[in-house]
Amino acid sequence: MDSSAELIAEVPGFIRLHKDGWVERLNGNERVPPSTDHHTTGVSLKDILIDPETALSARLYLPPLSGNHHRRPLLPWWWLLQRWAVRQTRPGTEPWIANHADLSHIMVAGDSAGANLIHHVAMRAGGTSAVHGSGPPVEDLVKIQGTLLVHPYFWSSTILDGELPVLAARVELIWKLACPASPGVDDPIMNPLAVGSLSLSGLGCRRVLVAIAGKDFLRGRGRWFYEALTARGWKGEAEVEEVEGEEHVFHLFRPEDEKAKLLLKRFASFINSE
């Protein structure tokens, strides 16, 4: 049987949802094994299992250590971060974390929708959560020093200047597929400034860097969030970094471009600064 006959929803060029539950990702989902050639870059890599129930894995990157710097900031990138980070403070932890990570200097980061999720992780670390009570208890969290939001995927029913209705319709369709039980894009999960959402003053970190790209359809949302964060009583330090002339998460698709390299250096500076 042709599976396309059972198609029930589609975001053209992105994803298809079939009646039998099969989700077809049209942008590719290739898995690249960790490199064993650490002599070229000095960075060692390995994969570890994060969640046995779902078979979720993560890739660890261990940068070279020099001089008296035996430990580096811990940077979990994207989700299930809370439970995993907490486990690293207990016996039986991953050896690379136990031997080389500075658990007093935890930064969190995410791209696109991952940046959205990371924002809610930071809110929960501050003792609050806009994700309807999901995640571990507040007392079961580690302290986060900084949050790196890369091209965050926020939205709202109010269209900002420069946003096209056709893009708004696409975002709303994707959101409906991702969270069919949600009331819409003004759900606090998607819209951190929605009526009824928790105050950004409770964000649980002391530093935030919002990265945006000049040709990204979400560019305005990054500015929108940054301006709200600096205006709503949060006591931390917020920065914004814009790369002109580039698209959404361009650094993931073209990591060898000079602009991508400069952006990653900016991230490294943010992560390693006190």
Separation CA 155–CA 217 (nearest Å): 11
Q: Cβ neighbours of residue 24 under 8 Å, at least 6 residues apart? A: 15, 16, 17, 18
User: At residue 192, what are phi and psi to the nearest 5 degrees?
Assistant: -70, -5
Range list of β-strands (E), the chain: 7-11, 15-18, 23-25, 44-51, 56-62, 72-74, 101-111, 146-150, 207-213, 237-243
Instruction: Provide the token pair at 45.
Output: 């890599």
**Secondary structure class of 176 (helix, strand, coil):** helix
Instruction: Give the closest residue to 149 by CA, choosing from 77, 46, 230.
Output: 77
Separation CA 268–CA 246 (nearest Å): 20
**Secondary structure class of 127 (helix, strand, coil):** coil
Pairing of the two strands 23-25 and 207-213: unpaired
Give the torsion through C-alpha atoms of 80, 83, 84, 87, to 10 deg. 180
Positions annotated as catalytic residues are: 112, 216, 248
